[in-house]
């Protein structure tokens, strides 16, 4: 393998070429979902000539006034982050669509939110489990999978309590936003990743994510750092998308 080949993990020609638009699909897109503060919106996400139908919370901030959310926040510092489409998700979708994993690979998406990154893995023909701390998020992500013609397993997962299930690939997008989560995320990867597997953690270039790299290395992971086009980054990419690639 040449040095140039080693420096490129995947190839995305136009990583900013994506759009989130109103969906022409009617109310049937929300059938089976529970009522939520602010209701639901239907959207179409397009990336690299791929199209995904999505149902998303219409007003994610409305969850902040929900009594159940307030109670959960008092009990466990819970925040309903799952309702937003965070900035690392679109380039992460492009990266997953361009990845070269075998069709037999099993995939776990952690912090799946609305399930968009997991949908990209499903589009690749992979066997995907969508996981989040919040049951509503898992239900929504699986609903979005079904309305795109796929079936995915669901798992309510507290990163502080990894399970014994093992996967070939672990995906996470915008999950390194709090330092207190870095250790638990690495616990999940260390426990739930198959030997020889790989974890892709997408980040929007937040400064707070800088500590994730040395912590992963201290725990014995080999860590690569890549940009939205799949090229190796020589250093942390503050303010721009970066992809942490972890292997044992």
Q: What is the pLDDT of residues 223-244, one digit of tens each?
A: 999 999 999 999 999 999 999 9
pLDDT per position as a tens digit, 105-133: 999 999 999 999 999 999 999 999 999 99
pTM, full prediction: 0.94
> Going from the N-terminus, what domains does the chain have, and what CATH number goes with each?
3-247 (3.40.50.150)
Contacts of 236 (CB under 8 A, 6+ apart): 205, 209, 210, 213, 225, 242
Model confidence over 40-78: pLDDT tens digits? 999 999 997 899 999 999 999 999 999 999 999 999 989
Q: Which residues contact 147 (CB under 8 A, 6 or more apart)?
A: 25, 29, 53, 55
Burial of 95-129, coded b for 16+ CB within 10 Å and e otherwise, reads: bbbbbebeeebbbbbbbbbbbbbbbbbbbbebbbb
- Which residue do the tokens 């759009």 mark? 19
**Residue in 73, 20, 74, 66 with CA at minimum distance from that of residue 44:** 20
Name the packing angle between helices 135-147 and 116-123 (round to 10°): 40
Cα dihedral value 69, 75, 77, 82, nearest 10: -40
């Amino acid at each position: 393998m040449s040095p140039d080949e080693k420096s490129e993990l995947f190839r995305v020609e136009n990583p900013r070429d994506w759009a989130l638009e109103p969906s022409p699909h009617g109310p049937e897109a929300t059938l089976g979902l529970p009522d939520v503060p602010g209701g639901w919106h239907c959207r179409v996400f397009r990336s690299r000539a791929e199209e995904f139908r999505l149902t998303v919370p219409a007003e994610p901030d409305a969850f902040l006034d929900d009594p159940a959310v307030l109670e959960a926040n008092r009990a466990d510092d819970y925040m309903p982050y799952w309702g937003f489409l965070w900035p690392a998700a679109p380039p992460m979708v492009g990266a997953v669509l361009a990845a070269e994993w075998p069709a037999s690979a099993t995939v776990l998406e952690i912090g799946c939110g609305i399930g968009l990154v997991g949908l990209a893995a499903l589009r690749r023909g992979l066997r995907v489990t969508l996981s989040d701390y919040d049951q509503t998020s898992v239900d929504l992500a699986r609903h979005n999978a079904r309305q795109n013609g796929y079936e995915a397993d669901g798992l309510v997962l507290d990163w502080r309590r990894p399970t014994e299930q093992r996967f070939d690939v672990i995906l996470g997008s915008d999950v390194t936003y709090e330092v207190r989560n870095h250790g638990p995320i690495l616990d999940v990867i260390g426990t739930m990743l198959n030997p020889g597997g790989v974890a892709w953690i997408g980040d929007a270039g937040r400064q707070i994510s800088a500590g994730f790299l040395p912590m992963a290395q201290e725990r014995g992971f080999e860590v690569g750092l890549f940009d939205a086009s799949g090229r190796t980054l020589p250093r942390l990419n503050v303010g721009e998308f970066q992809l942490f690639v972890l292997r044992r």
